[in-house]
């Protein structure tokens, strides 16, 4: 289970797009691998904030994430089926994301 994206970026759930982006850049300035050569934990951290930013700074993805959490990516299908995933269904669609 990955950490909550809002927590990763240190922003409240009510944060607007500008706050999210600015929080990301501030953290990027701290953790970008170029600024921390050879530091694997910084690189790991950067990838984490990068991923959180990719989802939260995109209004569509953010809505899905807010509603479905880790399963946000399958939101369309979930909604089409009128319900959530049963345990383990994710892979039956043939793909899933390792969380």
Report the interface residues with another protein, using CB under 8 A: 1-2, 21-22, 25, 28-29, 32-35, 37, 40, 43-44, 46-48, 50-51, 53-55, 58, 60-61, 70, 72-74, 76-77, 90-99
Asked if 86 and 78 count as a contact pair (C-beta separation under 8 A), the reply is no
The CA–CA distances, whole Å, from 42 to 11, 29, 46, 47, 56 equal 20, 11, 6, 9, 21
Q: Which is nearer to another protein, 15 or 28 (CB)?
A: 28
In the complex, least distance from residue 10 CB atom to another protein, rounded to whole angstroms: 16
Q: Alpha-carbon torsion 69, 7, 58, 46, what sign?
A: negative
Q: Which is nearer to another protein, 12 or 88 (CB)?
A: 88
In the complex, least distance from residue 14 CB atom to another protein, rounded to whole angstroms: 21
Q: Distance between CA 9 and CA 79 in Å, rounded?
A: 28
In the complex, least distance from residue 9 CB atom to another protein, rounded to whole angstroms: 14
């Amino acid at each position: 289970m990955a950490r909550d994206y809002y927590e990763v970026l240190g922003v409240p759930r009510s944060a607007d797009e500008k706050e999210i982006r600015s929080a990301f850049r501030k953290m990027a300035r701290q953790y970008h691998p170029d600024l921390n050569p050879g530091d694997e934990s910084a690189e790991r951290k950067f990838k984490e904030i990068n991923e959180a930013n990719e989802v939260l700074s995109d209004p569509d993805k953010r809505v899905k994430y807010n509603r479905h959490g880790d399963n946000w990516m399958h939101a369309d299908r979930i909604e089409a089926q009128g319900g959530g995933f049963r345990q383990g269904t994710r892979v039956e669609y043939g793909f899933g994301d390792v969380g």
